[in-house]
């Protein structure tokens, strides 16, 4: 590798603007004549709208316009969509209830948008929004999925009798039943996977601008995938024709999945800009974010694991109820199905698996992908069950896992996935060594002498990312392909612009993507500009989620660089009168191997643009594009080991040590990869011990601010010991697997396994707050 090439710790190019306050986020934008929006939101979890009276609000100072759902529908704006079709096991399609961007007849969760107020200032817009009088007729409410399935439960959508969206299965039920009939031991567990609120630190925002002179629309939005936003807003919501709509996602302050979706607010701001004749900006406040950003997780699961007399796994049965909230968000259907049940084999050779998933409507915020999306839920199910089985059998959890590891690749699981490469034992060994597992009993005894309960828990996760092979996901119901695009523009002076369909909202693409150029041509990363997030500049692309920007996005750049390199070599061979096969490009020079004949990189580039001396028939210029469609998912895997101390008097858990040993395939920038793991771990540990999303019986979200929802703070977390092992992914040219979600996927079961080990009671749900831990401890003391 060069000093700035693949594998180098290159400091981030994008940092300077962020550390000097020059980042440009959506709320930082202003355009001439811009006005401010506030949304009128439902205070009820379920109600009929009998009337909307805006007369008092319209008379307030500074108010420009107030628009409602009837006007929206009258203008032909379409309902929100779910882009992944999942069928029930009886073959019937999923049951989608209509979700208008502004509700005009029924509201189904607290916070649902009913009207928009546009005014001179944000404060005036909010004042007027409070003066809009809506006549609501309250309806009965249900917030828990299991309750929503019961007879007599309040019904949300006429399209979905019994609130059931789909009843789906994966795997061979007969073979699994057969495996269980031969079991020497069966471990059973009920698992609750707590609902989470993603909470990127930048709240969502949208700025809609309609230009009547050009009949053209611009939308600045906090999006992880601006091209998809443009496509969906034009093709499905009819806000603007695609060629007349520019979507810009500038600096975006974190996403974690919650900024994949196209929400009502950006649709309504664009539409309102045309209706009112002024640019309209809306910025979410934090409580609005809690009430409207798509939530994550919220599963109830019964799991059974069958083992033979030699402690080898025979089969796995999983029954899950997934709460999808009041409406089907953009990719909500894929999360508890194809991103969840397909990972239930974990790192283990399991001959038979059957999973059944019921997806359910409730009067809560829609649930969709949040960091990990389905894979944390699967990992939590399998890794808590493995640990529990080992404890029931009185055997070492590590050795029990080791015994059942998949050891040869490719490996076809019974649940669709075909694992292409991995070395699970290498991760386990690296993790155990870093965590000094052999010294644990000594540390436990020492803690006991201080009156503390020490516990150790592990989790051996595998996930599927590099999302995703288009043909495969198409056959599973996806409404889009999941390839990525890149364009490499070489300027006449030899500097390079990379235009990518990926979007960076903290991942450091401006640096890592430039490292590919440094590796390829020996150019400094400072000579490379990475351009993303603007549909007027960048060719169509699919955006960033599912840890895909490396394995898919960088593979597209790699392919485009192949083409640039080939053309540059042809030009150099022609000028230097050498054979094309003898040309090498290194350190910014284009040389004939084994001779002193060479050209500067910039000379070749300039030659491409002057066109004075090109091979006959060659087009001038040096600009190449590529689309890359992966052939398989990628499979990052690792071993996480958590050590905790519980104070038996208070139930307080302290994370003493957290070890992460991951296999991400090839690592481009180890500094950035470690940072991604740290952040994922913090979110996973947050889920395990802190973050609780609570609805009361009337459907009010009682944890809708940072006063009530326990975000992980510096004090809650330890230093992390992270390391990587490497098996290259055979499915993409760079051998990359992806690192963005692993920390959040692998860590929750490690933490809970550690706490349950410390207190000697396996009956503990997330988040393991001091109160719950104290109660669980005292239940067995």
Partner 1 sequence: MTDVTITVNGREMKGSVEDRTLLVQFLRENLGLTGTHVGCDTSQCGACVVHVDGKAVKSCTMLAVQASGSSVTTIEGLANGQELHPVQAAFREHHGLQCGYCTPGMIMTAVDMIERHGSSLDEETVREELDGNICRCTGYHNIVKAILAAAGASQAPAMAAE
Q: Catalog residues that contact partner 1 under the rule CB under 8 A.
A: 11-12, 14-25, 27-28, 123, 199-203, 251-254, 256, 285-287, 505-508, 671-672, 674-675, 678-683, 705-707, 711-715, 717, 719-722, 743
- In the complex, what is the shortest distance from the CB of residue 563 to partner 1, in angstroms, rounded to a whole number? 32
- CA nearest to 573, candidates 613, 612, 602: 613
- In the complex, what is the shortest distance from the CB of residue 3 to partner 1, in angstroms, rounded to a whole number? 16
Comparing CB distances to partner 1, the nearer of 330 and 655 is: 655
Comparing CB distances to partner 1, the nearer of 486 and 677 is: 677
Q: What angle do CA 529, 540, 213 make, to 5 degrees?
A: 95
Other Cβ atoms within 10 Å of 484 Cβ, number: 27
- The verdict on whether omega for the bond into residue 76 sits within 30 degrees of 0, i.e. cis, is no
- In the complex, what is the shortest distance from the CB of residue 256 to partner 1, in angstroms, rounded to a whole number? 7
What H or E segment, with its residue span, contains residue 685?
helix 670-689
* Eight-state DSSP code of residue 665: B
Comparing CB distances to partner 1, the nearer of 501 and 743 is: 743
Whole-number CA gyration radius for the chain: 27
Comparing CB distances to partner 1, the nearer of 156 and 660 is: 660
Rounded-to-integer distance, Cα 52 and Cα 65, Å? 14
What SS3 state is found at 26?
Answer: helix
Looking at 501-639, list the stretches that DSSP marks H as alpha helix, in order from N- to C-terminal side. Answer: 509-521, 555-576, 601-610
- In the complex, what is the shortest distance from the CB of residue 717 to partner 1, in angstroms, rounded to a whole number? 6
Comparing CB distances to partner 1, the nearer of 98 and 434 is: 434
- In the complex, what is the shortest distance from the CB of residue 747 to partner 1, in angstroms, rounded to a whole number? 10
Which structure tokens are listed for 326?
């009041």
Cβ–Cβ under 8 Å, residues 345 and 305: no
- In the complex, what is the shortest distance from the CB of residue 38 to partner 1, in angstroms, rounded to a whole number? 13
- In the complex, what is the shortest distance from the CB of residue 16 to partner 1, in angstroms, rounded to a whole number? 7
Cβ–Cβ under 8 Å, residues 316 and 376: no
Q: How many CA atoms lie within 13 A of 669 on its CB side?
A: 27
Comparing CB distances to partner 1, the nearer of 60 and 578 is: 60
Comparing CB distances to partner 1, the nearer of 462 and 690 is: 690
Query: Where does 46-112 show beta strands of DSSP type E?
Result: 47-53, 63-68, 106-107
Comparing CB distances to partner 1, the nearer of 60 and 711 is: 711
- In the complex, what is the shortest distance from the CB of residue 659 to partner 1, in angstroms, rounded to a whole number? 11
Q: How many residues can be counted in the chain?
A: 781
- In the complex, what is the shortest distance from the CB of residue 777 to partner 1, in angstroms, rounded to a whole number? 26
- CA nearest to 80, candidates 246, 377, 325: 325
Comparing CB distances to partner 1, the nearer of 315 and 506 is: 506
Comparing CB distances to partner 1, the nearer of 613 and 719 is: 719
Comparing CB distances to partner 1, the nearer of 19 and 780 is: 19
- In the complex, what is the shortest distance from the CB of residue 131 to partner 1, in angstroms, rounded to a whole number? 17
Give, in order, the Cα–Cα distances in Å from 134 to each of 50, 52, 119, 636: 8, 4, 19, 50
Cβ–Cβ under 8 Å, residues 246 and 232: no
Q: How many CA atoms lie within 13 A of 229 on its CB side?
A: 32
Comparing CB distances to partner 1, the nearer of 30 and 650 is: 30
- In the complex, what is the shortest distance from the CB of residue 638 to partner 1, in angstroms, rounded to a whole number? 16
* Eight-state DSSP code of residue 481: -
Rounded-to-integer distance, Cα 206 and Cα 211, Å? 16
Comparing CB distances to partner 1, the nearer of 15 and 130 is: 15
Cβ–Cβ under 8 Å, residues 263 and 292: yes
Q: What angle do CA 414, 419, 423 make, to 5 degrees?
A: 125
Give the 3-state DSSP-derived string for 198-267, with helices as H, strands as E and coil as C.
CCCCCCCEEEEEEECCCCEEEEEECCCCHHHHHHHHHHCCCCCCHHHEEEECCECCCCCCCCCCCCHHHH
Other Cβ atoms within 10 Å of 104 Cβ, number: 17
Comparing CB distances to partner 1, the nearer of 251 and 519 is: 251
Tokens 């180890």 map to which residue?
670
- In the complex, what is the shortest distance from the CB of residue 503 to partner 1, in angstroms, rounded to a whole number? 12
- In the complex, what is the shortest distance from the CB of residue 435 to partner 1, in angstroms, rounded to a whole number? 13
What SS3 state is found at 593?
Answer: coil
Rounded-to-integer distance, Cα 313 and Cα 290, Å? 41
Cβ–Cβ under 8 Å, residues 123 and 379: no
């Amino acid at each position: 590798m060069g000093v700035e090439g693949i594998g180098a710790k290159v400091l981030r190019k994008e940092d300077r603007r962020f550390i000097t306050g020059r980042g440009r986020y959506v709320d930082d934008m202003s355009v001439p004549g811009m006005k401010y929006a506030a949304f009128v939101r439902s205070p009820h979890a379920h109600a009929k709208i009998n009337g909307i009276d805006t007369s008092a609000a319209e008379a307030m100072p500074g108010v420009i316009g107030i628009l409602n759902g009837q006007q929206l529908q009258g203008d032909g704006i379409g309902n929100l969509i779910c882009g992944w079709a999942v069928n029930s096991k009886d073959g019937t399609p999923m049951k989608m209830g209509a979700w208008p961007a502004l509700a005009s007849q029924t509201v189904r969760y607290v916070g649902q948008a009913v009207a928009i107020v546009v005014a001179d200032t944000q404060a005036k817009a909010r004042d007027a929004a409070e003066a809009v009088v809506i006549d609501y007729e309250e309806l009965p409410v249900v917030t828990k999925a299991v309750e929503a399935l019961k007879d007599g439960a309040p019904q949300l959508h006429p399209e979905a009798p019994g609130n059931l969206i789909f009843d789906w299965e994966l795997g061979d039920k007969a073979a699994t039943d057969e495996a269980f009939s031969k079991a020497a031991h069966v471990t059973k567990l009920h698992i609750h996977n707590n609902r989470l609120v993603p909470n990127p630190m930048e709240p969502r925002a949208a700025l809609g601008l309609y230009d009547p002179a050009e009949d053209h629309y611009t939308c600045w939005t906090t999006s992880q995938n601006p091209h998809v936003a443009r496509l969906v807003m034009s093709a499905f919501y009819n806000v603007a024709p695609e060629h007349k709509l520019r979507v810009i996602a500038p600096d975006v302050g974190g996403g974690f999945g919650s900024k994949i979706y196209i929400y009502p607010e950006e649709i309504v701001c664009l539409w309102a800009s045309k209706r009112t004749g002024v640019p309209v900006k809306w910025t979410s406040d934090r409580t609005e974010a809690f009430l409207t950003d798509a939530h994550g997780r919220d599963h109830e699961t019964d799991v059974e694991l069958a083992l033979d007399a030699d402690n080898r796994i025979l089969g796995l049965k999983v029954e899950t109820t997934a709460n999808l909230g009041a409406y089907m968000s953009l990719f909500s259907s894929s999360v508890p199905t194809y991103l969840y049940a397909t990972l239930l084999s974990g790192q283990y050779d399991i001959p038979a698996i059957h999973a059944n998933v019921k997806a359910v409507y409730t009067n809560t915020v829609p649930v969709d992908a949040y960091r990990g999306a389905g894979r944390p839920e699967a990992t939590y199910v399998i890794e808590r069950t493995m640990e529990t089985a080992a404890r029931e059998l009185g055997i070492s959890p590590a050795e029990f896992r080791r015994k059942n590891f998949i050891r040869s690749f490719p490996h076809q699981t019974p649940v669709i996935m075909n694992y292409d490469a991995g070395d699970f034992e290498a991760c386990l060994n690296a993790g155990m060594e870093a965590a000094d597992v052999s010294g644990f009993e000594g540390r436990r005894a020492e803690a006991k002498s201080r009156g503390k309960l020490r516990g150790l828990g592990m989790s051996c996760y595998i996930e599927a990312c590099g999302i995703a092979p288009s043909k495969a996901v198409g056959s599973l119901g996806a409404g889009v392909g999941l390839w990525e695009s890149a364009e490499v523009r070489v300027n006449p002076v030899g500097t390079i612009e990379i235009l990518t369909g990926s979007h960076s909202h903290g991942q450091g693409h401006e640096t890592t993507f430039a490292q590919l150029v440094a590796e390829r041509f020996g150019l400094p990363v400072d000579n490379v500009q990475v351009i993303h997030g603007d549909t007027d500049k960048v060719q169509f692309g699919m955006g960033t989620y599912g840890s895909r920007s490396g394995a898919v996005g960088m593979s597209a750049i790699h392919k485009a660089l192949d083409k640039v390199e080939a053309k540059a070599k042809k030009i150099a061979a022609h000028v230097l009168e050498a054979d094309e096969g003898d040309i090498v490009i290194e350190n910014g020079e284009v040389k004939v191997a084994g001779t002193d004949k060479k050209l500067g990189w910039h000379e070749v580039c300039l030659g491409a643009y002057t066109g004075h001396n090109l091979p006959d028939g060659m087009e001038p210029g040096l600009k190449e594009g590529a689309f890359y469609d992966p052939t398989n998912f990628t499979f990052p895997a690792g071993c996480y080991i958590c050590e905790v101390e519980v104070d038996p008097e208070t139930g307080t858990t302290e994370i003493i040590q957290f070890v992460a040993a991951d296999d991400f395939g090839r690592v481009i920038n180890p500094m950035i990869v470690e940072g991604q793991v740290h952040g994922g771990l913090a979110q996973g540990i947050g889920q395990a011990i802190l973050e609780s999303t609570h609805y009361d019986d009337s459907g009010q979200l009682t944890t809708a601010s940072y006063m009530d929802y326990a975000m992980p703070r510096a004090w809650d977390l330890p230093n992390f010991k992270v390391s990587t092992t490497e098996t290259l992914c055979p499915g993409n040219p760079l051998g990359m697997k992806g690192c963005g979600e692993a920390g959040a996927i692998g860590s929750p079961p490690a933490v809970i396994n550690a706490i349950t080990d410390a207190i000697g009671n396996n009956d503990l749900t997330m988040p393991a707050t001091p109160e719950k831990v104290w109660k669980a401890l005292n239940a067995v003391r």
